[in-house]
Amino acid sequence: MTRRARRTAALLTLAALAGAAGCGSGRYPVTGRVTYDDGSPLPEGSVVGECRDGPDPVMARGNVGPDGRFEWGTERAGDGAKPGKYKVIVVPRTLSNAELAQGMVSAVDGKFTRYDSSGIEFEVKDARNELNITVTRPKPGAKPK
């Protein structure tokens, strides 16, 4: 094998190893938990973040599990988020028409479902990130939004 061929093979091997390790994605893990103010978990829904630090908005989201835990992804579930400042919303499971007819209400106060009123901001840094969120339930008699 020539010297140039060995160098090319070595570079290709390094590139493959870097790709396998997830290096260079520019995204970092964001995990967390959504709970109510009494400490009980939000059992299902999504946590969505929007970053407007660059020319194009970047979205990251994660589904909330029964224990309230979530993990953000940008292109794929759990692949992390790019560094920057994010406005965050919590979107509970959508109620069916039958559930609404039975008088069920959303699991989360409507203010947490809008970027302009959630009050939740989070900065993703070049490291592992933890975003724990406390939400409230809708006030009695509140109508779904």
For the chain, domains (ranges, CATH) are 25-135 (2.60.40.10)
Asked whether residue 37 carries a pLDDT value surpassing 70, the answer given is yes
pLDDT at 55: 86
C-alpha atoms less than 13 angstroms from C-alpha of 87 in its C-beta half-sphere: 12
Question: Going by C-beta distance under 8 Å and a sequence separation of 6 or more, which residues neighbour residue 67?
Answer: 33, 41
- In whole angstroms, what is the distance from residue 102 CA to residue 120 CA? 31
Query: What does pTM read for this prediction?
Result: 0.79
**Using one digit for the tens of pLDDT, what is the confidence trace for 38-83?**
999 999 999 999 999 888 899 999 999 999 999 999 999 999 999 9
